Structure 1
Amino acid sequence: MDRILRGIMKYRQTDRKKMVEQFEIVKNRPEPKAVFFTCMDSRMIPTRFTETNVGDMFVVRNAGNIIPHSQHFVDEATTNEPAALELGCVVNDIRHIIVCGHSDCKAMNLLYALQCEEFSSQKNRRISPLRAWLSAHASSSLSKFQQLEMTGFDKPLVFHAETQMRKFVAYIDPEDKFCIADKLSQVNCLQQLQNIASYGFLKKRLEKHQLHIHALWFDIYTGDIYYFSRQNKRFVDVNEVTINMLEKEVLKYYS
């Protein structure tokens, strides 16, 4: 806590004035461009690696960057994530939703371990909110990953996109650069796009191309950021070589 308090004092001496100036500019009329879902991992600082600023994004964080499927909610029982989707995309008319996973994700490591029946037993879920959260809301990601594992990791997976009729194909780590848990993390990231599209209050916007869903993946060891390219059917490293191609894809499909 001492480090936090000293950080606040440093902020007061360095960044505070600039931030207040930015608050004045956006004031009561912020125009955020994206709802950004990512993991609560302390190594993930999305506003830094996207160079976004005050008023640019709604950021929602949890263990494993998971957006539960709408089937889990009846009546008024819900969680923060769909509420954030409504606040961002309906109330504030934000047009882009981004889900960002990352390497060495502790939640994904735990999800992989939940394949063990004893580890994922009801008894263990009752003493571990994290295991219960993952068992309830990330089991679809694990099932999708198991499909991939059964084929030797070289066959594509198919995900529903904005509608049930619209689908996209994904090759997961075709160059075999990442470990098993990282492959699962990438599958989980794409599964969340399918989960987002399950919400009825987003249906018309998705069908009319007024709302777009994207996936990013961050390698914490190299600092590289990957964008899932539906055109290339895989996560593509965003760099000086690929940026023009990716920008053209975004303008073509998501403008």
Structure 2
Amino acid sequence: MDRILKGIMKYRQIDKAKMVQQFLQVRDNPTPKAVFFTCIDSRMIPTRFTEMNVGDMFVVRNAGNVVPNSQHFLDEITTNEPAALELGCIVNDIRHVIVCGHSDCKAMNLLYKLQDSEFSSLRNRRISPLRAWLCTHALPSLEKFQQFELADYQKPLIFQAETPMRRFVAYVDPDNEFGAEDKLSQINTLQQMQNIASYGFLKKRLETHQLHIHALWFDIYTGEIYYFSRQAKRFLIIDEANFEKLLSEVETYYM
């Protein structure tokens, strides 16, 4: 806690005046560009690696960057994630939703272990909110991973996208650069795109291309960021070699 207090004092001395100016600039007319779902992992700092400023995007964080599918909610039972989608996309008219997973995700490492029936037993879920959260909302990711594993990590996976007619195919880690848990993390990130599209209040905007869903994946040990390209059907590193190609894809299909 002492480090946090010292950090606040440093903020007062160095950054406060600049941030207050930014707050005043966006106070009456904030124009956030994205709703950004990511993990609570302390190594994930999305505003830093995207160079976003005050007012630029909504950031929603939870264990495993999971967005529960709408089928889990009846009547007024819900969680923070769909409420954030409504606040961002409907109330604030944001046109881009981004899900960002990452390597060495502790939640995904735990999800991988939940393949063991004893580890994921009802008794253990009752004493572990994290296991209960993942068993309730992340099992579709694990099931897709198991399909992938049975095919020796070779066959592509199919995901439902914005509308029933816009399914997308994904080749997950075709160069076999990552371990099993990281492959699961990438699959989980793509699965959340499907989950987001399940909400009825987003249906019209998705069908009329007023709202778009994207996936990023961050390798915390190299600092590299990957974008899921529907044209390439895989995650591509965002670098000098791929930037123009990815930018063209985004401008063609998502602007």
TM bin (shorter chain): over 0.9
Secondary structure of 2:10 counterpart: helix
- Show the counterpart of 1:166: 166
**Which amino acid in structure 1 is aligned with residue 129 of structure 2?**
P
**Which amino acid in structure 2 is aligned with residue 229 of structure 1?**
S
**Which amino acid in structure 2 is aligned with residue 19 of structure 1?**
M
Distance (whole Å) between structure 2 residues aligned to residue 182 and residue 64 of structure 1: 12
Distance (whole Å) between structure 2 residues aligned to residue 109 and residue 28 of structure 1: 43
For structure 1, which runs of at least 5 residues remain unmatched after alignment? none
Distance (whole Å) between structure 1 residues aligned to residue 241 and residue 24 of structure 2: 37
Distance (whole Å) between structure 1 residues aligned to residue 24 and residue 198 of structure 2: 37
Root-mean-square deviation (Å): 0.4
Deviation at 1:165, TM superposition (A): 1.9
Secondary structure of 1:249 counterpart: helix
Residue deviations 1:76-126, cap 9 Å, x none?
A: 000000000000000000000000000000000000000000000000000
**Which amino acid in structure 1 is aligned with residue 233 of structure 2?**
K
- Show the counterpart of 1:29: 29
**Which amino acid in structure 1 is aligned with residue 217 of structure 2?**
W
- Show the counterpart of 2:84: 84
Deviation at 1:61, TM superposition (A): 0.1
Deviation at 1:27, TM superposition (A): 1.3
* Alignment TM-score, normalising by the size of structure 1: 0.99
Distance (whole Å) between structure 1 residues aligned to residue 60 and residue 140 of structure 2: 21
Deviation at 1:24, TM superposition (A): 1.2
* Alignment TM-score, normalising by the size of structure 2: 0.99
- Show the counterpart of 1:176: 176
Secondary structure of 1:146 counterpart: helix
Question: Does 2:227 match 1:191?
Answer: no
- Show the counterpart of 1:51: 51
Secondary structure of 1:221 counterpart: coil
Secondary structure of 1:201 counterpart: helix
Residue deviations 1:139-195, cap 9 Å, x none?
A: 000001111001010110000110122111000000111111000000000000000
Distance (whole Å) between structure 2 residues aligned to residue 225 and residue 244 of structure 1: 15
- State the percentage of identical aligned residues: 74
Deviation at 1:28, TM superposition (A): 2.2
- Show the counterpart of 2:134: 134
- Show the counterpart of 2:118: 118
Secondary structure of 1:133 counterpart: helix
Distance (whole Å) between structure 2 residues aligned to residue 131 and residue 163 of structure 1: 31
- Show the counterpart of 1:230: 230
- Show the counterpart of 2:212: 212
**Which amino acid in structure 2 is aligned with residue 156 of structure 1?**
P
**Which amino acid in structure 2 is aligned with residue 190 of structure 1?**
L
**Which amino acid in structure 1 is aligned with residue 215 of structure 2?**
A
Deviation at 1:217, TM superposition (A): 0.1
